[in-house]
């Protein structure tokens, strides 16, 4: 299989096909209509548009939106650790 750059890849475990794909990998923030994403061993190994490559499993994502994985770096871990600690109860942050 090859991706939109023409790079060759081994057969994918999973292809998510027929989706609208958003990327953040280029300055143009490319949107791919009728796109596909190929996954092997839990990693994205290819993207493209049109006919998807062969895969062990193909998921029809027609009328769905595929986005890169987002990471939520905002957390309150320290609050979870101190909320039951008596000297810290009802103290300002």
Query: Can you give the residue ranges of every domain in the chain?
Result: 12-88
CA distance 30 to 42: 23
- Give pLDDT tens digits along the chain (93 positions): 555 555 555 689 999 999 998 776 677 878 888 999 999 999 989 888 999 999 999 999 998 988 877 777 777 766 666 666 677 667 776
CA distance 56 to 14: 6
At 33, phi and psi to the nearest 5? -80, 145
pTM of the model: 0.62
- The CATH number of the structural domain formed by 12-88 is 2.30.40.10
What pLDDT is recorded for position 60? 96
Chain-centroid distance, C-alpha 19: 13
The H or E element that residue 78 is part of is helix 77-82
What pLDDT is recorded for position 22? 79
CA distance 14 to 92: 49
């Amino acid at each position: 299989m090859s991706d939109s750059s023409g790079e060759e890849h081994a057969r994918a475990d999973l292809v998510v096909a027929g989706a609208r794909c958003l990327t953040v990998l280029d300055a143009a923030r490319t949107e791919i209509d009728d796109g596909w994403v190929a996954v092997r061993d839990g990693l994205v190994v290819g993207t493209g548009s049109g006919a998807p490559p062969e895969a062990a499993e193909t998921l029809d994502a027609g009328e769905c939106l595929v986005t890169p994985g987002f990471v939520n770096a905002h957390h309150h871990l320290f609050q979870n650790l101190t909320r039951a600690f008596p000297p810290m109860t009802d103290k300002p942050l």
